[in-house]
Amino acid sequence: MNVRHLVLGDIEAVENLDHAIRGPDRSKTWDVYIDRVLRSGYLDGLPHPPWGCFIAENSGELIGFIVAERQMPTYGLPPGARIVALAVDPAYRRRGVGKALVAKLVEDCKKSGLDNIYSILMDEDERDAAFLESAGFAPANFKVFSRPIPE
Ligand SMILES: CC(C)(COP(=O)(O)OP(=O)(O)OC[C@H]1O[C@@H](n2cnc3c(N)ncnc32)[C@H](O)[C@@H]1OP(=O)(O)O)[C@@H](O)C(=O)NCCC(=O)NCCS
């Protein structure tokens, strides 16, 4: 297995994997972010690999990806990186691919002087929580408030 920066030529394979695991396997926190990040990649023509985005490949076949963004310093949340999307091909899970992708993001954060990585999950995403805890994450002591918008 090899883990490297995502480049323009990977986008179709990333989209294919993302689409293949949509549905019951897809975390509710996944949302539309992956599409947004990939679309902005198209727009910019990706002169450089995007920061915080990596793919894992096996014999040239894409088997996983991670897309992260730098979290701008805003009131109440220390600067860091935020994981937008992370997925491993179901045929390659539980072999350390997810962990290797997070490790690459940690390297990018170190180089950029960032000292925190955030991942926001819904309470019911217990499977993802188990993965994150195994990759060194712990529940943060932030409070997230939300208010439904009345129709
Ligand atoms: C979550 C996901 C990325 C994990 O990828 P992975 O390559 O299988 O993870 P790893 O092999 O690196 O797992 C490392 C550890 O995390 C934990 N873990 C991973 N998947 C788990 C699961 N389904 N249930 C419980 N623990 C899990 C285990 O402790 C595991 O170590 P072990 O296999 O030695 O027991 C993958 O299951 C996936 O793509 N899920 C669907 C997409 C998704 O929900 N993404 C959002 C993630 S925040």
Looking at the structure, give the CATH architecture of the domain made up of residues 2-134.
Answer: 3-Layer(aba) Sandwich (3.40)
Which pLDDT belongs to residue 69?
A: 84
Q: In the chain, where are the structural domains located?
A: 2-134
Query: How would residue 43 be classed by pLDDT, with cut points 50, 70 and 90?
Result: very low
- Give percent of the chain with pLDDT exceeding 70: 79
Q: Is 50 in the pocket of ligand 1 (CB under 6 A)?
A: no
Q: Is 127 in the pocket of ligand 1 (CB under 6 A)?
A: yes
Say how far apart CA 43 and CA 121 lie, in whole Å.
29
Q: Are 118 and 129 in contact, with CB atoms under 8 Å apart?
A: no
Query: How would residue 8 be classed by pLDDT, with cut points 50, 70 and 90?
Result: confident
Neighbouring CB atoms inside 10 A of 67's CB total: 26
Candidates 94, 105, 118: which one to mutate for ligand 1, based on the most atoms within 8 Å of Cβ? 94
How high does pLDDT run on average in the chain? 83
Q: The tokens of 98 are what?
A: 């997810």
Say how far apart CA 113 and CA 81 lie, in whole Å.
11
Q: Are 77 and 71 in contact, with CB atoms under 8 Å apart?
A: yes
Tell me what the mean pLDDT of segment 76-95 comes to: 88
Give the pTM. 0.85
